[in-house]
Amino acid sequence: MWLRTVSHFPAYRGGMRTESAEFLAALPRKRMGSGALFVDESDRILLVEPTYKDHWEFPGGVVEADESPYATAVREIQEELGMAVTLGPLLVLDWIPPRGDHSEGVMLLFDGGVLTARTAAAIELQAEELRSWAWSDDAEIAQRLPDFMTRRALAARRARKLGATAYLEYGFPVG
């Protein structure tokens, strides 16, 4: 599969004016994460239970240096669930303010589509990272996810139904 990295884009390979090291060092640093929204035939959302967090998550992970958010979601789903996927369009871009020891961040969710019972039965969890996975209805989503992620999950499902992309700030729609 073609992976999107900065080396794929000519503007990054040369001929572009470069900024000073001091200017670049002064730019803010943000976390970026990317994942996918998978639903079943009943429109329940697939959530995973990480071994290193006290709440559930969407399948996905941290965008690494020189990696696109799309490539991250594909890679993380392969690593975490043992599934090679081609994802659909971006459903949600959610800006997360700084909180506690976390810097601000941008989280993206792509459309993973509908997983049939047969496809879901082939999920192979990476035991070092994930305890379990589950299909989750609205009540279970609210129990398993923090409030801002619950809002993101519901907005992503709405965007999927509408064929749209939602821009959120801390899970709340903007615009």
Compute the mean pLDDT over every residue in the chain, rounded to the nearest whole number.
Answer: 90
For 27: left if phi > 0, alpha if psi spans -120 to 50, otherwise beta; the answer is beta
Cα 126 to Cα 3: distance, rounded to the nearest angstrom: 22
Q: Is pLDDT above 80 for 15?
A: no
**pLDDT score of 2:** 47
What average pLDDT does range 59-76 have in this prediction?
A: 97
Q: How far separated are the first and last CA of the chain, in Å rounded?
A: 35
Cα 58 to Cα 150: distance, rounded to the nearest angstrom: 10
Higher pLDDT, 20 or 141: 141
- What percent of the chain is modeled with pLDDT above 90? 79
Which domains does the chain show, CATH number per domain? 35-173 (3.90.79.10)
pLDDT digit string, tens, across residues 99-132? 888 889 999 999 999 999 999 999 999 999 999 9
pTM of the model: 0.86
Comparing CA positions, the residue from 152, 165, 121, 156 lying closest to residue 55 is 152
